[in-house]
Amino acid sequence: MIVSQTVSELGASATLQMSKKAKALEAQGHKIFDFSVGEPDLSPPQVLFDGVMEAIKEKQHLYTPVSGTLAIKKSILHYTQHHQNLSGWDVPQVCVSTGAKQVIYNALMASLEPGDEVIIPSPYWVSYPAIVKLSGARWVPVSCNEHNGFKLTPEALQAAITPNTKWLVLNSPNNPTGTVYDTDTLYRLAEVLKKFPKIFILSDDIYEALCYTHRPCPHILHVCPELQSRVLVVNGISKSLAATGWRLGWGIAPQSLLEGIEKIQSHSTSGPCCLVQHAVAQTLNTPQLEAYILENHGIFTSRRHCLVKALQRLPGMDTLVTPMGAFYVFASCRGILHHPTIRALGWRTDRELADGLLTHAHVCSVPGSEFGQEGYLRFSYAVPPKLIEEGVERLIHFLTTPSKISE
Ligand SMILES: Cc1ncc(COP(=O)(O)O)c(C=O)c1O
């Protein structure tokens, strides 16, 4: 067989599988309420399009330096200081990549060896364990409890650390839970990390602009700047600027790690698209972009409210943890699994529930098991408010009169 054992054992992305099934149903003429999406339905800011048009008019077309142009790196450092209140790095400590995912991939590939361990708080974004597996290292899930707001506790962190631990992954705001780490928890996690100077921290800040509790979003480097020599800051334009398809993200890291990241990139994709780099360099710190981020923040704040309120009306819905960031609600579905309609259908797990709700009610969500936490469904609110209301109405209708919908 041509495909390696490691790759054969990797699961396909559940989110993609659900949306593939949703698209197939749509193609058959069904109206689908798709809450599985991981990308905003909004348009990126006009200045970003203007920036690309300018680069095209200038006929820009050449390879850029592998880790990005000087102009974009300066813009990124300025943005990071202004929006995240994080500073203290220089231009050579920035690498611009084809999305935040590539930064994470490069960093883990550049640093991990068989036998190394990566602590991943669970629930988690599915690509973290997949990338660790590809590197040949071991991932160590640490379960985070809903009653603690799905936050990793210092005690659980301490218990998971071994002499082989090389990385801790922190993702705040979090996908799939929407959890935002508060400064007190970050401080206590930092106190543990200070005792283990060999552990690096991968701070995935891709949803940082969508934090509804604080501005800027609390960061481990706010509470413990001395960790800076061991932190990789990951960010990008996919979520904050609704530009998922433009494929641009960045990492800011200590020099030695950055050089490793750059090496991997030089032998895989080289620098990201020169047109997009130009547009981002020109616009990242403009008032128009600042206004855009604020506007989207307002839009998602109100959609979050709308989805939480709507889901609370579902028969059998357990208490919902209101997400503090990103654009997901991670809702316990244990009560729904006990609902008479669902019991009669024989659906016993979150996977069966998500699949059944898609097939029969045409409502698409992602089962929590895919993110390492059974008994939950993830609903995205990166969708129009009308779809939120109608989709939840559809679920309520299904639970109360299932036969009518599945006809
Ligand atoms: C937590 C998290 N990190 C990183 C990414 C990847 O972002 P990008 O599109 O910039 O590669 C995603 C995308 O869904 C994500 O949810």
- Quick: pLDDT tens for 290-319: 999 999 999 999 999 999 999 999 988 877
pLDDT of residue 214: 85
Q: Give CATH 3.40.640.10 domain extents, the chain.
A: 62-283
Helices 274-283 and 46-57, packing angle to 10 deg: 130
Q: Tally Cβ neighbours within 10 Å of residue 60.
A: 15
pLDDT of residue 69: 98
Helical ranges in 270-357 per DSSP H: 274-283, 287-311, 334-337, 340-345, 350-356
Query: Which of 101, 207, 327 to mutate for ligand 1's pocket (most ligand atoms within 8 Å of CB)?
Result: 101
Asked whether 170 lines ligand 1 (CB < 6 A), one says: no
How many angstroms does the Cα of residue 238 sit away from the middle of ligand 1?
7
pLDDT of residue 224: 98
Class of domain 62-283: alpha beta
Stretches in the chain below the pLDDT threshold 50: 404, 406-407
How many angstroms does the Cα of residue 101 sit away from the middle of ligand 1?
6
Prior bond to 272 cis, omega within 30? no
Strand (E) positions, 194-256?
200-204, 231-236, 249-252
Query: Which of 39, 206, 244, 330 to mutate for ligand 1's pocket (most ligand atoms within 8 Å of CB)?
Result: 206
Q: Give CATH 3.90.1150.10 domain extents, the chain.
A: 5-43+289-400
Which amino acid does the sequence have at 379?
Answer: F
- Give DSSP secondary structure letters for 56-88: HHTT--SPPPTT--HHHHHHHHHHHHHHH----
Which amino acid does the sequence have at 28?
Answer: Q
Q: Which residue has the tokens 């934090």?
A: 211
How many angstroms does the Cα of residue 392 sit away from the middle of ligand 1?
26
Q: Which residue has the tokens 């509804």?
A: 212
At residue 326, the 3 state secondary structure works out as: coil
pLDDT of residue 402: 60
CA atoms within 13 A on the CB side of 212: 20
- Please state which CATH number belongs to domain 5-43+289-400: 3.90.1150.10
Q: What is the pLDDT of residues 186-205, one digit of tens each?
A: 999 999 999 999 999 999 99
